Every structure is written in structure tokens, then in C-alpha cells.
């Protein structure tokens, strides 16, 4: 949680657990959705609402999962709903959920047949890997992860162009993927056994 931010009281029990989950993930989902849906679009709010609603409907199952698996599930839902939105905008085929097709919410195509790389990586492991990046890449990546735009990161790091920040972020992501690949593979094989 961001220090200093007021946390609303969370009720005990299953509803409280979901509230805590939603309160933690909703700002991140909104930030990502705003970037990909275009700013000022109501599609962004619809997308996040849709994802959290599906999480609520599946909560009985999700609450037994470990945190990385839940996070990966959430991203899968976000990705699939976002692609649906893209297709809808292109072909004008309306697959919006309404009273006629509300059962679609309970169908779960989001179950992945096998765990993905990022599903096998914990937040602590990512922090360790980020700490191992070189100074510039680490700073740029951390500022980006806190939601800053490239231009703002460039200003804070005294870099003349936002393009340079884009390049740093590109290298940071690639190195993180390489660094965490072995850990993820090992864990995936352990799970399959």
C-alpha cells in the first residue's frame, strides 16, 4: 500500500477479504486500463468494473489460490476483456454483458492450462531482481511502476528525452524477464510434479 494513503475499513469474513483484494488491485487496474483504452474513455471504467465483477463472482474459488495465481488470473481476465473490447470496436459485434447473456459472467475461459512465467514469480522476487538492475534502469523502472509518464521520468532523472526513458524501460523489462526466467521455470516444473 502507498504510505500515507487512507485505507477504508475492511470488514471481516469473505466479503472483507474480497474488499481488501479489490482495494489493492483496483488502482493498478485503472492505471493500466487508462493507458491502453485511451485517456478520458468510459471504456476504461467499464473494463475495470467488468474484471472486478468477474473476480467477485469467482471469489469462492479465487480466495483459496495463492496471491501470484490470483494476480495472474486477474491479468488474464483484463487481457481477454480488453481484446473483446478491441474486437467490438473493430467489428461492431456487441458482446456486452446484459440480461440476455449474463450467464457468460460465470463461464470461466480465464483458466490457463499451465502456469505462465509471471504466475510463478512473487512480488519479493521481482523486488530483488529490480534491485539487481543497474542504477538508471532501476530508477526508470521504479518511477514507471509508480505511474509516472516517460516525460516526467526524464525530467526527474535529468535526461533530455523521453525516448531514452522508453529505451531504458525496454531494457529493464527484458533483463527482468531473463533474470526471473530460471526461478519461474523451476517453480513451474515443481508444480507439474
Partner 1 sequence: MSPACEDLRPFLDGELPEEDQRRIRGHLAGCEACATRFHDLLQLEMLARLALEDAEESARWVSARQARERLPGSWHEDVPENWPGEAALAAQPAPPPEHLEGRAWHQGARRYRRRCPGCASCCPWFAEGEAVEAVRLPRWSCPRAGRSGGAVLRPRPRR
Separation of alpha carbons 111 and 76, rounded Å: 8
For residue 114, what is the DSSP state?
S
Residue corresponding to grid cell 447473456: 101
Among 130, 155, 164, 175, binds partner 1 (CB under 8 A): 130
Asked if 19 touches partner 1 (CB under 8 A), the answer is no
84: how many CB neighbours lie within 10 A of its CB?
15
Separation of alpha carbons 22 and 41, rounded Å: 21
Stretch that binds partner 1, among 12-20, 55-63, 95-103, 161-169 (CB under 8 A): 161-169
Cα separation values, 38 from 35, 52, 83, Å: 6, 20, 14
Choice between 102 and 136, CB closer to partner 1? 136
Applying CB under 8 A, the residues found at the interface with partner 1 are 1-3, 24-25, 28, 31-32, 34-36, 38-39, 71-72, 74-76, 78-79, 83, 85-87, 89-91, 116-119, 121, 123-124, 126-128, 130-132, 138, 141-142, 144-147, 149-150, 162, 166, 169-170, 173, 176-177
Amino acid at each position: 500500500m502507498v504510505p500515507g494513503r487512507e485505507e477504508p475499513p475492511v470488514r471481516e469474513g469473505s466479503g472483507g477479504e474480497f474488499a481488501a483484494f479489490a482495494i489493492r488491485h483496483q488502482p493498478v487496474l485503472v492505471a493500466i486500463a487508462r493507458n491502453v483504452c485511451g485517456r478520458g474513455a468510459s471504456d476504461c471504467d467499464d473494463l475495470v468494473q467488468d474484471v472486478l465483477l468477474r473476480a467477485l463472482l469467482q471469489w469462492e474459488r479465487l480466495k483459496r489460490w495463492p496471491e501470484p495465481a490470483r494476480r495472474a488470473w486477474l491479468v488474464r481476465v483484463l487481457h481477454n476483456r480488453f481484446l473483446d473490447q478491441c474486437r467490438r470496436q473493430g467489428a461492431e459485434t456487441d458482446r456486452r454483458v446484459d440480461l440476455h447473456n449474463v450467464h457468460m459472467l460465470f463461464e470461466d475461459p480465464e483458466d490457463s492450462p499451465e502456469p505462465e512465467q509471471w504466475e510463478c514469480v512473487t512480488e519479493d522476487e521481482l523486488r530483488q531482481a529490480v534491485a539487481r538492475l543497474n542504477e538508471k534502469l532501476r530508477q526508470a523502472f521504479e518511477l514507471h511502476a509508480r505511474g509516472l509518464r516517460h516525460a516526467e521520468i526524464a525530467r526527474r532523472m535529468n535526461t533530455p528525452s523521453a525516448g531514452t526513458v522508453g529505451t531504458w524501460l525496454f531494457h529493464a523489462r527484458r533483463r527482468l524477464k531473463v533474470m526471473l526466467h530460471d526461478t519461474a521455470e523451476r517453480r513451474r516444473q515443481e508444480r507439474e510434479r
